[in-house]
Amino acid sequence: MPVCVDVLVFSYSNNYSIHVQLRYNYRLYPSPGQQQALARAFGCARVVFNDALATRRDAHQAGRPYPSNGELSARLTAAKATPQRAWLGEVSAVVLQQALADLNAAYGNFFASLKGDRKGRKAGLPRFRSRKDRRQAIRFTRNARFAVTPGGKLRLPKIGDVPVRWSRRLPAVPSSVTVIRDAAGRYFASFVVQASEDLVPEADAETGIDLGLAHFAVLSDGRKIASPKFLRRAEGKLRKAQKALSRKAKGSRPHRRAISWASFPILGEIARRRASASASGISWRSRYARPGRGNRNREATRSKEPDGGIRGSTCSRSAALSISSSMRLPWRTER
């Protein structure tokens, strides 16, 4: 999941607002001891989230008002002094407070959806987190005093200095970092930084883009961008891994090993390449296309996805965009 956050610069706007934030993702390589510490932090954050959610649900069923964030924080402090929850003190307090913040955000999205104030699909009630969830995440803010050491490692409180694979430099001091463990067992650090006004340079040229089927895109200067077809290129390995998985008894140790060592790493690699393509500004979607007028100009579309798949919608095939000529094209081009 290498960081690729190049930004498309359209002809109608080429400057960021001062309030825009960007996210930069990097791969982490924690040691076995640090992996245990991270697993402990994931578990503590999950317990705090579930305890707070249970408290609010009990209050709702009893007809009482929802406990405020301050009340939940006070209960968390009191819980640390009890023998049943004394192990919560083994992780950073900021991680636990951010778990409560996540619960508040989830409830905020739910109530905003009920009122119709939230755009996009409706958000449901918060659900309990499970230790079997394939994706685990914790967040550190500046109050946790995380830092990047002179040697290039990420220093996390009560975890240690974690090696980072820096694919590019951070443009500014990050305001927070989220440590993520995905389904394939890989670790990532996601930094949030403030975008400056001069982050994107002025565009000195424009290029027209036309989405296609034989080629992913055709540029106005004659260059053709081939489709990457991430999924199709990995189908052979995935088929072999899934066949080996089907021969293992469910719930057995070989079955769990086949999942963690074969299927999930392949799927994780596909997801990483798709995310890299999307972030680099090449995954143009049909939302950029101009809707056709009438049945003659409308066609049941096959807009190309980064993996070479086809996504259904109804739009015009033409998608002429004016973007910065300095964009990166990660795939081969043809004249």
Q: Is 254 left (phi over 0), alpha (psi -120 to 50) or beta?
A: alpha
Domain boundaries, the chain: 21-194, 206-334
Determine if the pTM surpasses 0.85. no
**The predicted structure's pLDDT at residue 30:** 96
- pLDDT at residue 225 greater than cutoff 90: no
- pLDDT at residue 266 greater than cutoff 60: yes
Give the 3-state secondary structure of the chain: CCCCCCCCCECCECCCCCCCEEEEEEEECCCHHHHHHHHHHHHHHHHHHHHHHHHHHHHHHCCCCCCCHHHHHHHHHHHHCCHHHHHHHHCCHHHHHHHHHHHHHHHHHHHHHHHCCCCCCCCCCCCCCCCCCCCEEEEEEHHHCCEECCCCEEEECCCEEEEEECCCCCCCCCCEEEEEECCCCCEEEEEEEECCCCCCCCCCCEECEEECCCCCEEECCCCEECCCCHHHHHHHHHHHHHHHHHCCCCCCHHHHHHHHHHHHHHHHHHHHHHHHHHHCCCCCCHHHCCCCCCCCCCEECCEECCCCCEECCEECCCCCCCEECCCCCCCCEEC
Average pLDDT over the chain, rounded to an integer: 75
pLDDT digits (tens, 9 = 90+) for 106-152: 999 898 888 888 888 888 889 999 988 888 999 999 999 999 999 99
CA dist 75 and 61 (Å) reads 19
CA dist 331 and 308 (Å) reads 13
* Confidence label for 333 from pLDDT (cuts 50, 70 and 90): very low
Please indicate whether residue 286 or residue 49 has the higher confidence score (pLDDT): 49
Phi, psi values for residue 48, rounded to 5°: -65, -45
Q: One-letter amino acid identity for 252?
A: S
- What strands, in cross-sheet order, belong to the sheet with 224-225? 209-211, 217-219, 224-225, 333-334
**The predicted structure's pLDDT at residue 99:** 95
CA dist 153 and 164 (Å) reads 6
72, two tokens: 């939940």
**The predicted structure's pLDDT at residue 262:** 67
CB-based burial label for 33 (10 Å; 0-12, 13-18, 19+): exposed
pLDDT digits (tens, 9 = 90+) for 45-97: 999 999 999 999 999 999 998 888 899 999 999 999 999 999 999 999 999 99
